[in-house]
Amino acid sequence: MKLKYLGMASASILAVLLVFAASGAGMAGSLTGSEGDKRFPPYLPRNPKDPCTKAYKAYVAAGGHSAYATTPYARIMSSYIVCGGHLNAPSQKRAEELAMKSCQSTRGHYKVTTGGVCEIAASK
């Protein structure tokens, strides 16, 4: 009788270990909530409705390879910032390319000539 219960107990323990191992492996591959590689701290206006604040929060929340590009902020020279981002790209390099393209097109759309050029602030 003891062998009968021992086999059931070991099968239950093995099943629990497999569940925990599978959930840990799934979490390790996700980039959700990560700020990734920060090259410089991006300036984010305190207004949560600001487009650049929304774009950065979406970048952090994204689960795949993503990037956030912005013009650097200097109080003396810049009265505004321009930003762009790309979420869930096939690779980190591609996300950076598309984020730069987005930032540069926004800068061109508003015909901004001062405040610096677009740079990748963070990518993952």
Tens-place pLDDT, residues 52-90: 999 999 999 999 999 999 998 876 666 678 999 999 999
Query: Residue 97 pLDDT > 60, yes or no?
Result: yes
pTM, entire model: 0.73
Residue 11 corresponds to which tokens in the numbers above? Answer: 């099968």
DSSP label of 115: S
Nearest to 54 by CA among 28, 76, 27, 84: 84
Burial class (CB in 10 A: 0-12, 13-18, 19+), 78: middle
